[in-house]
A and B are shown apart, each in its own frame.
Chain A
Amino acid sequence: MSARDFQLAFASLIASPQTCCELLTAEEPFFTRFHLTEKEKLRLRAIVRQKGISACCSLYRMNRVTPVYSQLSNTCALLKDKLIPLIEEFWQYLTKPSLQFREEVLEFGDFLMNKIDLGTIHLPYLKEVLQLEMAMNELSYLPEGEYRMLSFEHDIFFVLQALAEGRLEEAVVPYSTERYKMYIKNDRVEMETAEDSCIGLEVNQSSTIRTTLETK
């Protein structure tokens, strides 16, 4: 039990600079949460006093934010400086991550959608972009043939293009009443409208979405 708790205690330090500070300032409340031998306590005291613990904490944050940032890149771009406080709030809520890309993205997406629905976050186009990226993420784990039906209040391709070009805030975005079928074909995410045109979505090297429109 003790060695197992030592590993849990070390992991909890890496996951939280605040917990490191707690151990540095008042160690008993931290130690009482775990069954530790004196040698393990000594090791944790030593670890938290080494400057390398900050590198461990930074790596944890980078590794944990990577799934969200790579799979929901446009959502993150829309959130701008709201992203980090939201991510930190999400980490308080989901304290035992699997770091599986799919789970982490789904959990964060649901967390964010809940906030949007409650009105605690209000950003133009955020809900639509999040819906699009969540559907893309979901489909990327499913075999060809699976699809998702999506509709947007605005021209989602215009939104993505303007976002990529940094002119979304001043752009006049057209409204939309289209419904789209999103699916995977030949390793590409594609969307089809009721008018039977086919739109290919590609995730490029910087994980932003490029759009091309080809009429069948």
Chain B
Amino acid sequence: MKTEQLGIGILYNASLPEYLGQHMDQLDYIEIIPDMFWSDEGRGQQPRFRPLPKWMHQLDWIAGRVPLVAHNIGISIGTIDYFDEEYIRFMRQMHETYQFQWHSDHLSFLKLPTKGPHDHNAGIAIPVPYDEEYLTMIGKKVEFIRDTIDIPFLLENNVYFVEYPEQDYTETAFVNKLVSNHHCNILLDIHNLHVNAINQGADAKAYIDELDMENVMEMHIAGGNDMNGFYMDSHAGPCPDEVWELLDYAVSKAPNLRGITFEFHESYFPLLQFDGLNRQIELARNTWEKYHLKHQGYERA
């Protein structure tokens, strides 16, 4: 399974069309959240996934210009007794059309099964307990995803506000075991590490040191803000200095990195504007070029 080194990308949102129309040359790829481009009519409905015309029009325009990467929010890989194979097969159709370089989701659970056509949404991505039971369960799903969609599948590290006592593994040990046993890759969200460092006192550099960095294919960077005494992963504009410092540290240890993606919420576009976006991309590119020169496609072990 070969993937190209891409470089610097941005997570697509509704505020971007005008920027992309003028500054697409700044970017090496676009990451999309595929779930934003369709409406899920619910299990058993025909068709179940109804493309949203306006969004698909944008997607087709982008796909004609730069490579695409998919970042899902709907697999809910950590939900017990639940796996939406129909959703994965639809993602394969999307991939056949748009040729994603890789795809990813979060190491958490979001959806809870119901008897009706729509799942109950927990409202936030809840980290799974890092237990053997979850390792086995998630591992099987990863294998199904890899067998169904023939591109690398990445799992993203969590933001957490509460901790489970008595877990079998630390997060890094859990991720490393998942990656080595079930052949997936890692999406290392640098801002999530920063959030956990502020709120939980976690040591972000130690996390990077413990993680199997050979399998990190993508990194996310973003900004955040304070809310009621917590620092939130709100994608609120530019990255703080600590994120740039951590990014440098992480990139220096990730020989198989394929891309760095800047994420921001569309409501913060007025804060960033075109120049602000270009500046974030320029800073990310400086870090990228410090450690990575273009070389041949990476083949997963």
Tell whether A pairs with B.
Answer: yes
Residues in B122-147 with C-beta less than 8 Å from chain A: 122-124, 126, 129, 133
Q: How many A-B residue pairs have CB under 8 A?
A: 110
Give the CA-CA distance A141 to B164 in the complex, in Å: 40
Question: In the complex, what's the smallest C-beta–C-beta distance from B23 to chain A, in angstroms?
Answer: 18
Please pick, from A3, A43, A58, A142, the residue contacting B164 in the complex, using a CB distance under 8 A: A43
Chain B, residue nearest A43 (CB)? B164
CB of A35 within 8 Å of the partner chain: no
| Chain A residues touching B, majority SS | helix
With a cutoff of 8 Å between Cβ atoms, the chain A residues found around residue B166 in the complex are 39, 42-43
Evaluate contact between A10 and B161: CB separation under 8 angstroms: no
Q: What is the CB-to-nearest-CB distance from B198 to chain A, in angstroms, rounded to a whole number?
A: 12
> Which of A59-67, A80-88, A124-132 forms part of the interface with chain B?
A59-67
What's the least CB distance linking A145 to chain B, in Å?
A: 10
Task: Check B228 for interface membership: any CB of A closer than 8 A.
Answer: yes
Q: How far is the CA of A154 from the CA of B127 in the complex (A)?
A: 50
B269 within 8 A of A: yes
A187 located at the interface, meaning its Cβ lies under 8 Å from any Cβ of chain B in the complex: yes
* A11 interface neighbour in B40, B112, B232, Cβ under 8 Å: B112
A10: chain B residues at CB < 8 Å are 122, 126
Q: Which residues of A contact B81 (CB under 8 A)?
A: 4
Task: Determine whether the beta carbon of B112 is less than 8 Å from that of A14.
Answer: no
How many residues in B have their beta carbons less than 8 Å from beta carbons of A?
A: 43
B126 lies within 8 A of A184 (CB): no
Measured in the bound complex, the distance between the Cα atoms of B124 and A53 in whole Å is 12
Chain B residue contacts of A25, Cβ below 8 A: none
- Would you call B80 and A100 a contact (CB within 8 A)? no
Chain A residue nearest to B200 in the complex (CB): A52
Give Cα A30–Cα B275 distance, bound, in whole angstroms. 52
Report A11-25 CB contacts with B as 1/0, cut-off 8 Å.
100110000000000
Q: Give the distance in Å from the alpha carbon of A45 to the alpha carbon of B267 in the complex.
A: 36
**By the criterion CB–CB under 8 Å, are A55 and B230 in contact?**
yes
Closest to A187 in B: B54
Interface-centre pick from B109, B161, B230 (highest chain A CB count, 10 A)? B161
Interface on chain B toward A: helix, strand, loop, or mixed SS?
mixed
Q: Is the CB of A14 within 8 A of B126?
A: yes
Docked Cα-Cα span, A7 to B50, in Å, equals 29
Over the window 106-132 of chain B, the binary record of Cβ atoms lying under 8 Å from chain A Cβ atoms (1 yes, 0 no) is 000100101000111111101001000
Cα distance A3–B133 in the bound complex, in angstroms:
9
Whether, in the assembled complex, A54 has its beta carbon less than 8 Å from a beta carbon of chain B, the answer is yes
Q: Which residue of A lies closest to B167 (CB)?
A: A43
Knowing A58-B227, A140-B54, say if A97 contacts B120 (CB, 8 Å).
Answer: yes
Indicate whether B301 reaches chain A with its CB closer than 8 angstroms. Answer: no
Bound Cα distance from A198 to B153, whole angstroms: 48
Contact A52 B165 (CB under 8 A): no
Give Cα A47 to B40, complex, Å. Answer: 32
| Residue A123 interfacial (CB < 8 Å) | no
Residue of B nearest to A188 (CB): B54
Please state if B163 and A14 are interface contacts (CB–CB under 8 Å): no
CA distance A51 to B54 in the complex (A): 42
Q: Are B126 and A96 in contact (CB under 8 A)?
A: no
Is the CB–CB distance between B39 and A141 below 8 Å? yes
A68 CB to nearest chain B CB (Å): 13
Q: Cα distance A192–B220 when bound, in Å?
A: 45
Cβ-defined partner of B230 (8 Å) among A11, A43, A52: A52
Task: Select A50's contact among B129, B133, B162, B229, beta carbons within 8 Å.
Answer: B162
Query: In the assembly, what is the distance between CA of A144 and CA of B57, in Å?
Result: 12
Given contacts A50-B162, A63-B123, contact A96 B39 (CB under 8 A): no
A56 touches B165 (CB 8 A): no
Q: B47 CB to closest chain A CB, in angstroms?
A: 13
Q: A10-B126, A52-B199, A205-B270 are in contact. Are A103 and B161 (CB under 8 A)?
A: no
Query: Is A179 at the interface (CB under 8 A from chain B)?
Result: no
In the assembled complex, how far is the CB of residue B42 from the closest CB belonging to chain A, in whole angstroms? Answer: 8
State A60–B123 Cα separation when bound (angstroms): 5
- Give the B-binding residues of A (Cβ under 8 A): 3-4, 6-8, 10-11, 14-15, 39, 42-43, 46-47, 50-56, 58-60, 63-64, 96-100, 102-103, 140-144, 184, 187, 205
Given A55-B161, A205-B15, output 15 extra A-B contacts at Cβ < 8 Å. A10-B126, A14-B123, A42-B165, A43-B164, A46-B162, A50-B162, A50-B163, A52-B160, A52-B161, A52-B199, A56-B162, A96-B114, A140-B52, A141-B50, A205-B270
